[in-house]
Amino acid sequence: MNLITGTAVAGRSLTDEAATKQSDSVRERASVAEARATEQAWSFERIYDEYKTPLYNYIYHLVGNREQADDLTQDTFLKAFKALPKMDANLKLSAWLYRIATNTAYDALRRRKLIAWLPWQDLDHEPADVESADPQETIGTSELVHAALKRMPHHYRAALLLYTQEGFSYAEIASTLNIAESGVKMYLSRARHSFREHYRALEQGGGVTK
Amino acid sequence: MNCEKAENYLSAYLDDMLDPQLHTEVAAHLDGCAQCSEVVTEYRRYDTLLANTPRVSPSAALHDRIFNSPEFAAILRQQARANEAHPSAPQPAERRSANRGSPPHWGRIALQTAAVFVILVGSALLLKQGLFHSGPSTARHGSTPVIGNPNPNDAPLAAGNRVVYEHDGALWSAPESGPGLAQRLTPSNVQVSSVWSVSPDGKYVVYAEAGSGRLHVIRADRQGDTPLSSASALCSGAGICSVHPALVWSPDGTRIAYQAADGTLHVVNADGTNDQAITTSTQGLAISPLWSQDSLRLAYIQVNNAEQSVWSYDLVNRRASQLAAHADPANLAAVVEQMFWLPDAQHPALTWATWDATSKTITGIFTRDLLQSNTVRLTPADAHVTAAGFTPKQGTGLWLVGITQNETPALATVSATQPGLTITNSAPGNAITGIYWSPTGNTAAIVSEDGELSLATQNGASLASSKLNGVTGVPAWSPDGTHLAAQISVGIVSMRISNGQPASITHLLLGEPLLANMTMLWAPDSQSIAITAASGTYLSSPDNGHTFKQVDTQTAAGPFGWSVAG
């Protein structure tokens, strides 16, 4: 499909810094309905390109499963694209997208309590792992990180991920998670405490050694 | 400022988010407190660790999935319409879809979400209060979409292999294949005790009602629940008999042995007829009934004044015979830890191992040939045996034992028919505490005192080069001997075993708090394993694309069974 027209007009005014860095043209306005829809598609492409990896990565770390992260990233973008034209012009795109992603993932985590077969291919190990001498390597650091995150309450997990992986400020986290900035302080404090407890426990735990 | 107070501020301190006064106070505390400084250092390290965890990217296909989707086309159409009609006005969200014909796709998604919610609410009721059967009547007549059968105990459960387990006074059943979740197996008006058992062919489940101990038989598809009228005295309440609850089908599926409230053993036909006591209460408590393969004999232990004797009941001539007046004549405090019939049904013989809880050793292994008059002690009196495992698949039956000799652990074999102990492997390391044969008798899992699990073949002569460590509890072999699941400190793993070597390892459940009495059971087809954890009950298929489903948000209260519905 070719929705990129080359015209530098678009339907949305976006003030979010992260979004505008690469989307100057997105600030401009369209006058003809048809062209505007086409341009929206175009700006959707730009938004997708810019946010696909950070959003997918964030969702993946929230739900711990690639296939589900695919589905939820798709849901997140489609929800965003659908709602975007109705949003206020002063929308902070980045925090808003992460808020949709967070809610979509939370919803899925709630549903997962009762539903679905989920492949855990990302946790599978080949024979090489059995031969490995170091338990920390066998159950690799990123898996320990992953496992420790998984043990945390999900709202603390989201705050910690947004801060450490997405580089969000306290204000941005507050906006994304829809909590007060003082709440972010508490969330991050508890998140770090919780992560430390779980990570240490996992680090000292068993694994596969030769 | 003390540590307790400082701890709350360390995270914000690290981020430079404290007001200057507080910042100074925390800094001053950190100057003099190694413990809190260490926490800040570790927080910093974990921040870096998280920041450096590799980013995962979506597949290239995701782009097309989004931009070629009908939903995206609908969004474009909607925008084009909105722009034509109201070039600048925001559009109200779609809200009509649930009640009018031909809902747009997002409407359908909203409906699905509603359905999910119904399942969630329905199941929460079901799980917490056992109300599945007597749910609100509006669910049957109202416009709310009804998921599943509103009166599910009337509907047969889907055919196929189904795992069965108990919690909250009911038995639950979940299908091995497909997306189905746990459904209540037993009627909602019956409280089920922890005593139940699946028939050998998987088609029936017998269970005892809580309180009365009355036995019921129900089909695996939850049809035809039938109380067995005469068999109603099962010991299912508190008290000494609940320590050894017993309900065992004969291998041919025609009879059930059970322990009655007075501590006697009964045998009843599976249809409820011909209920008879095979022991008397004056003899003491009778425990651990064990059917012979031909279903003609029932071995059991008689407990009197804390001493154990070994018995066999012959169902043909209806006579009990004492096989050993003392399970271990040399140690009257020793109790039978394991007991097996030898594989040759033409030549009935029973073998058992006795355990002394004080010394934590196997005090002896014995065999009694029913055609002979005496019990034979197989292990030398001076052997220091720390663990034993029996397989009927090797010759006339073989014990593999862990011993300690000159303070060095070793593996040894003991024939089930000949006294003597042959050392097969001297394995330096910690004392062996568990030996678990694969059902095929090809490989044995050896667990040592420090939680190391190794695999032994050739009767212990050959040990696999890789070990699993941090193992707790009893590992679970798949029926075909190709997989071994074990609980380790970070979760539950499954090893695929090939030629006695671990070929690959799969995490079944990672990052779950450990349960003290973790139970796991492989399906009869060896494709799936049922596991339970604090967060719920799961079915996992490590080989079939490593699928994984949570069938229940509740933890199974006891062991699993596998049934076959349909």
Please report the pLDDT score of residue B203 as a whole number. 95
Type and span of the H or E element at B11: helix B3-14
How many domains does chain B divide into? 2
Q: Render B411-423 in DSSP notation, one character per residue.
A: EEEEESSS---EE
Q: Which of B447, B505, B552 to mutate to probe the A interface, most A CBs <10 Å? A: B505
In a domain? residue B522: no
Q: What angle do CA B392, B419, B479 make, to 5 degrees?
A: 15
* Alpha-carbon distance A27 to nearest alpha carbon in chain B (angstroms): 15
Task: For residues B345-350, give the mean pLDDT.
Answer: 89
CB atoms within 10 A of CB B502: 24
Nearest by CB to residue A121, choosing from B495, B504, B546, is: B546
* Alpha-carbon distance A64 to nearest alpha carbon in chain B (angstroms): 11
Q: By percentage, how much of chain A surpasses pLDDT 90? A: 22
Residue B360 DSSP class: T
Rounded Cα distance between B24 and B10, Å, is 12
Task: For residues B526-553, give the mean pLDDT.
Answer: 84
Residues A207, B490: C-beta atoms closer than 8 Å = yes
Residues B80, A34: C-beta atoms closer than 8 Å = yes
Please report the pLDDT score of residue B544 as a whole number. 66
In a domain? residue B509: no
Interface check A135 vs B, CB under 8 A: yes
Task: For residues B126-154, give the mean pLDDT.
Answer: 30
In a domain? residue B512: no
Question: Would you say B94 and B104 are in contact if contact means Cβ atoms under 8 Å apart?
Answer: yes
Residues A74, B72: C-beta atoms closer than 8 Å = no
Residue B91 DSSP class: P
In a domain? residue B181: no
Least confident of A167-171, B138-142, B253-257, B436-440: B138-142
Interface check B66 vs A, CB under 8 A: yes
Structure tokens at A115: 């539903």
Question: Would you say B386 and B362 are in contact if contact means Cβ atoms under 8 Å apart?
Answer: yes
Please report the pLDDT score of residue B159 as a whole number. 93
3-state secondary structure chain A: CCCCCCCCCCCCCCCCHHHHHCCHHHHCCCCCHHHHHHHHHHHHHHHHHHHHHHHHHHHHHHHCCHHHHHHHHHHHHHHHHHHHHHCCCCCCHHHHHHHHHHHHHHHHHHHHCCCCECCCHHHEECHHHHHCCCHHHHCCHHHHHHHHHHHCCHHHHHHHHHHHCCCCCHHHHHHHHCCCHHHHHHHHHHHHHHHHHHHHHHHHCCCEEC
Give residue B115's pLDDT band: very low, low, confident or very high (50, 70, 90).
very low
Give residue B72's pLDDT band: very low, low, confident or very high (50, 70, 90).
confident
Length of chain A: 210
In a domain? residue B34: yes
Q: Render B433-469 in DSSP notation, one character per residue.
A: EEEEE-TTSS-EEEEETTS-EEEEEGGGTEE-S-EE-
Residues A115, B469: C-beta atoms closer than 8 Å = no
Rounded Cα distance between B135 and B124, Å, is 11
Residue B234 DSSP class: B
Nearest by CB to residue A124, choosing from B59, B490, B506, is: B506
Q: Report B:163-182 residues touching A (Cβ under 8 A).
A: 179, 181
Examine the pLDDT at B358 and tell me if it is beyond 80.
Answer: yes
Rounded Cα distance between B409 and A177, Å, is 57
Rounded Cα distance between B412 and B402, Å, is 6
Q: Which of B37, B41, B83 to mutate to probe the A interface, most A CBs <10 Å? A: B83
Examine the pLDDT at B292 and tell me if it is beyond 90.
Answer: yes
Q: What angle do CA B171, B176, B179 make, to 5 degrees?
A: 100
Nearest by CB to residue A81, choosing from B15, B55, B75, is: B75
CB atoms within 10 A of CB A34: 12
Nearest by CB to residue A123, choosing from B54, B116, B510, is: B510
- Collect all residues of chain A within an 8 Å Cβ-Cβ radius of residue B550: 112-116
C-alpha distances out from residue A126 to A123, A139, B474, B476, Å: 10, 12, 24, 20
Nearest by CB to residue A196, choosing from B42, B56, B545, is: B42
Q: Which of B66, B177, B469, B504 to mutate to probe the A interface, most A CBs <10 Å? A: B66
Type of residue found at B195:
V
Q: Which of A114, A157, A186, A197 to mutate to probe the B interface, most B CBs <10 Å? A: A114
Q: Which of A63, A189, A198 to mutate to probe the B interface, most B CBs <10 Å? A: A189
Strand order in the sheet with B491-498: A124-125, B501-510, B491-498, B483-488, B472-477
Please report the pLDDT score of residue A127 as a whole number. 28
Query: What is the chain B residue with the closest CA to A68?
Result: B58
Residues A70, B49: C-beta atoms closer than 8 Å = no
Strand partners for B349: B369
Which residues, at least 6 apart from B147, have a Cβ–Cβ distance to it below 8 Å? Answer: B115, B118, B119, B122
Task: For residues B51-80, give the mean pLDDT.
Answer: 84
Task: For residues B293-313, give the mean pLDDT.
Answer: 92
Task: For residues B399-416, give the mean pLDDT.
Answer: 92
Which range of A35-49, A168-182, B71-85 scores highest in mean pLDDT? It is A168-182
Rounded Cα distance between B31 and B47, Å, is 22
Structure tokens at B17: 């988010």
Rounded Cα distance between B427 and B400, Å, is 14
Give residue A112's pLDDT band: very low, low, confident or very high (50, 70, 90).
low
C-alpha distances out from residue A17 to A27, A93, A164, Å: 12, 9, 19
Interface check A170 vs B, CB under 8 A: yes
Q: Which of B549, B453, B559, B454 is nearest to B515 (CA)?
A: B559
Residues B67, A54: C-beta atoms closer than 8 Å = no
Residues B545, A119: C-beta atoms closer than 8 Å = yes
In a domain? residue B131: yes
Task: For residues B449-478, give the mean pLDDT.
Answer: 87
Please report the pLDDT score of residue B85 as a whole number. 58
Q: Report A:148-167 residues touching B (Cβ under 8 A).
A: 148, 150-151, 160-161, 163-165
Examine the pLDDT at B311 and tell me if it is beyond 90.
Answer: yes
Residues B179, A118: C-beta atoms closer than 8 Å = no
Query: What is the chain A residue with the closest CA to B114?
Result: A111
Q: By percentage, how much of chain A surpasses pLDDT 70? A: 62
The dihedrals phi and psi of B259, each to the nearest 5 degrees, come to: -100, 125
Rounded Cα distance between B493 and A99, Å, is 35
Q: Give B119-137 pLDDT, tens digit per residue.
A: 222 222 222 222 222 222 2
- Collect all residues of chain A within an 8 Å Cβ-Cβ radius of residue B543: none
Q: Give B14-41 pLDDT, tens digit per residue.
A: 999 999 999 999 999 999 999 999 999 9
Please report the pLDDT score of residue B473 as a whole number. 85
Q: Report B:115-154 residues touching A (Cβ under 8 A).
A: 116, 119-120, 123
Rounded Cα distance between B9 and B7, Å, is 5
Q: Which of B4, B46, B79 to mutate to probe the A interface, most A CBs <10 Å? A: B79
Query: What is the chain B residue with the closest CA to A202?
Result: B490
Give residue B337's pLDDT band: very low, low, confident or very high (50, 70, 90).
very high
Please list, residue by residue across B370-382, b when 16 or more beta carbons sit within 10 angstroms of its beta carbon and e when fewer do. Answer: beeeebbbbbeee
Examine the pLDDT at B243 and tell me if it is beyond 90.
Answer: no
Least confident of A89-93, B134-138, B186-190: B134-138
Least confident of B113-117, B172-176, B472-476: B113-117
Rounded Cα distance between A142 and B50, Å, is 8
Mean pLDDT score of chain B: 80
Type of residue found at B85:
A
Examine the pLDDT at A25 and tell me if it is beyond 70.
Answer: no
Give residue A52's pLDDT band: very low, low, confident or very high (50, 70, 90).
very high
Which range of A178-192, B234-248, B508-522, B536-550 scores highest in mean pLDDT? It is A178-192
Interface check B82 vs A, CB under 8 A: yes
Task: For residues B465-469, give the mean pLDDT.
Answer: 82
Q: Report A:24-43 residues touching B (Cβ under 8 A).
A: 30-31, 33-34, 36-37, 40-41
Interface size, chain A vs chain B, as Cβ–Cβ contacts under 8 Å:
234
Structure tokens at B468: 């699993």
Which sign does the torsion angle of CA A96, A98, A99, A104 carry?
Answer: positive
Strand order in the sheet with B247-249: B247-249, B255-259, B265-269, B276-277
Which residues, at least 6 apart from B216, have a Cβ–Cβ distance to it below 8 Å? Answer: B186, B190, B206, B207, B208, B209, B225, B226, B227, B228
Interface check B559 vs A, CB under 8 A: no
Domains and CATH numbers, chain A: 7-122 (1.10.1740.10), 125-205 (1.10.10.10)
Mean pLDDT score of chain A: 69
- Print the domain residue range for B7: 3-46
Rounded Cα distance between B310 and B350, Å, is 9
Higher-pLDDT residue of A178, B531: B531
Query: What is the chain B residue with the closest CA to A41?
Result: B76
The dihedrals phi and psi of B75, each to the nearest 5 degrees, come to: -65, -45
Rounded Cα distance between B522 and B534, Å, is 19
Residues B79, A85: C-beta atoms closer than 8 Å = yes
Residues A206, B75: C-beta atoms closer than 8 Å = no
Please report the pLDDT score of residue B91 as a whole number. 35
Task: For residues B374-389, give the mean pLDDT.
Answer: 94
In a domain? residue B24: yes
Task: For residues B324-353, give the mean pLDDT.
Answer: 93
Higher-pLDDT residue of B98, B37: B37
Query: What is the chain A residue with the closest CA to B177?
Result: A117
Task: For residues B243-247, give the mean pLDDT.
Answer: 61
- Decide: helix, strand or coil at residue B400: strand
Interface check A174 vs B, CB under 8 A: no
Higher-pLDDT residue of B281, A97: A97
- Collect all residues of chain B within an 8 Å Cβ-Cβ radius of residue A85: 79, 82, 90-91
Task: For residues B417-428, give the mean pLDDT.
Answer: 87
Nearest by CB to residue B46, choosing from A120, A185, A195, is: A195
- Collect all residues of chain A within an 8 Å Cβ-Cβ radius of residue B115: none
Give residue B512's pLDDT band: very low, low, confident or very high (50, 70, 90).
low
Query: What is the chain A residue with the closest CA to B122?
Result: A114
Residues B119, A115: C-beta atoms closer than 8 Å = yes
In a domain? residue B427: no
Task: For residues A69-73, give the mean pLDDT.
Answer: 92
Q: By percentage, how much of chain B surpasses pLDDT 90? A: 44
Question: Would you say A58 and A161 are in contact if contact means Cβ atoms under 8 Å apart?
Answer: yes
Please report the pLDDT score of residue A63 as a whole number. 85
Residue B48 DSSP class: H
